[in-house]
Amino acid sequence: MEKELKIEKISDYKYIIPREEDMRVAGIIYISEKLLPKVISDNAHLQVMNIAKLRGITKYSLAMPDVHWGYGAPIGGVGAFDAESGVIVPGFVGFDINCGVRLIRSNLVIKDIRDKLEDIINLLYTNIPSGVGSTGKIKLKKKELEEVAMKGALWAVKNGFGTPEDIENIEEQGRLKNADPDSVSDRAYERGLEQLGTLGSGNHFLEIQQVVDVWEENIANVFGIFPGQITIMVHTGSRGFGYQICEDYLDRFGKTVVEYGLKIPDKQLSCAPASSREGRRYFKAMNAAANYAFANRQLITHWTREVFSSVFKIPYEKMQLSLVYDVTHNICKFEKHTIEGKEKMLYVHRKGATRAFPAGHPELPDRYKQTGHPVIIPGTMGTCSYVLVGTEQAMEETWGSTSHGAGRIMSRHQAVKENRNRSIAKELAMQGILIRGASKKGLLEEIPEAYKDIDEVIRVVEGAGLCRKIARMVPLAVVKG
């Protein structure tokens, strides 16, 4: 007889899976009554429970409101592991290491861009490679790629792709310092050599947007955001380079769990003690992939600025195309947190979840010390995106974490199968949204209905006290992979 599932409501936006059997901690899901049934039918709650069974997990196994089934660990999951006794889990980071989102602001408004929008989106689609297996305009040698893996966005800026100000407005200043190129396989380098500066496929995008709502004007002013403003959002990650690194270490850790006598509830959660040689080696390789992703988004930013300059025939500086912030998800960070009044070092895994550090946090750039950094949560190519700011409550409850997007409710295969006769590009055009994509199939996979209601997701993170809304943007034109 199947055991009855226990998910107990703590508040309108917070549910607990009590600790049972071999769970080391309880599970916490930040969700609404409206979104909860899909979490259960998707079995994502079972993956939250599986994470709770891993060695060294601290306090809770967490899930954000965009949570859905993923490889081994749920997408939208957050978990922190003790630096000495805990494990590090490639499947709880994900294949697209440091998939992230950056927001670029401008001094443009809709009247400035309306007649030029089609030219801009066509040039962006032409100049920034997208789609499955896409290759970039930069061809690197292995030695150069090793430097990218070490220096991240700093490599891009030093090579003329951006400004020092960009670096100041990227999480970790666009470079994770524990990267080690020697921890990366030759196959990963082969895959990464020609993909720097590409969007890739899936849910990755480059989007031109308009700010339609601003809630906290004082913070919005610090972020450089105002009503009616044109913004640009970039969402992509470490491409085949990061994917191969994840694949390599998943294969190695399948043996490591046996060697260290680790008990795992799912072979997709193969892991290593974080303090072990193998665990440290993965962490260094993962940081290398994260740096690749920072450089990738930096190149795309540079070429986006070039497109705007070409269309408007003025330097991009006159349009004030400057970086608001770049936040990462699909990452494991070595962070200091306070637990029961004591500071402790933890390996915080955020898979499909992003940082939401509040005002005063020591890792914030100077510009955002008084406000907290911008938290960027995109919707879909037919719905809005949000900028928020983190809270002290998020630091206390979720290791300073929140949702990274809307979260899928429909598989890519299902989305294509059930909508093959639709023309998504025409439908979006009727809504006033221009779309350019590498394939019809790719657009069908990413139909807005394949995702949760982004407004409901935001209602949860705000209602749960993890973030506060600052601004909302709607799409005007989108390049999809």
| Predicted confidence (pLDDT) per residue in 121-145, tens digit | 999 999 997 766 666 678 899 999 9
Helices (H) and strands (E) counted in the chain, each on its own, are 16, 19
- Amino acid 407: pLDDT: 92
- Amino acid 200: pLDDT: 87
Domains annotated on the chain, with CATH: 8-480 (3.90.1860.10)
411 burial class (0-12, 13-18, 19+ CB within 10 angstroms)? middle
Q: For residue 201, what pLDDT band results from cuts at 50, 70 and 90?
A: confident
Residue 83 has pLDDT above 80, yes or no: yes
- Amino acid 220: pLDDT: 98
Whole-angstrom Cα distance, residue 145 to residue 189?
7
Q: Which amino acid is at 395?
A: M
Whole-angstrom Cα distance, residue 58 to residue 317?
46
- The residues pairing with 103 across neighbouring beta strands, listed in sequence order, are 233, 325
Q: How far is Cα of residue 349 from the mean position of the Cα atoms in its chain?
A: 12
Residue 317 has pLDDT above 70, yes or no: yes
Reported pTM:
0.96
Q: What is the mean pLDDT of residues 269-298?
A: 98
- Amino acid 256: pLDDT: 96
- Amino acid 191: pLDDT: 95
Q: What is the mean pLDDT of residues 79-106?
A: 98
Query: What percent of the residues of the chain are helix, what percent strand, and what percent coil, each to the nearest 5?
Result: 40, 25, 35
Residue 47 has pLDDT above 50, yes or no: yes
Angstrom CA distances, 341 to 344, 360, 400, 424, stand at 10, 18, 16, 53
Q: What is the mean pLDDT of residues 420-438?
A: 89
> Which of these is catalytic: 68, 235, 329, 404?
404
Asked if 404 is an active-site residue, the reply is yes
425 burial class (0-12, 13-18, 19+ CB within 10 angstroms)? middle
Residue 48's region, left for phi above 0, alpha for psi from -120 to 50, else beta, is: alpha
Q: For residue 3, what pLDDT band results from cuts at 50, 70 and 90?
A: low
Residue 1 has pLDDT above 90, yes or no: no
Residue 380 CB-half CA count within 13 A: 24
Residue 5 has pLDDT above 80, yes or no: no
Residue 398 has pLDDT above 60, yes or no: yes
Convert the pLDDT of each residue in 206-254 to its tens digit: 999 999 999 999 999 999 999 999 999 999 999 999 999 999 999 999 9
Average pLDDT of the chain is: 95
Q: What is the mean pLDDT of residues 344-371?
A: 97
**Residues near 461 by Cβ (< 8 Å), separated by ≥ 6?**
30, 64, 65, 377, 388, 402, 403, 467
SS (H, E, C) 100-151: EEEEEECCCEHHHHHHHHHHHHHHHHHHCCCCCCCCCCCCCCHHHHHHHHHH
Cβ-based neighbour number of residue 26 at 10 Å: 17
Tokens of 313: 């025939």
- Amino acid 21: pLDDT: 83
CB-CB contact of 350 with 329 (8 Å): yes
Q: Which amino acid is at 182?
A: D
**Residues near 63 by Cβ (< 8 Å), separated by ≥ 6?**
27, 28, 29, 30, 31, 39, 44, 45, 48, 74, 76, 77, 78
Whole-angstrom Cα distance, residue 128 to residue 123?
8
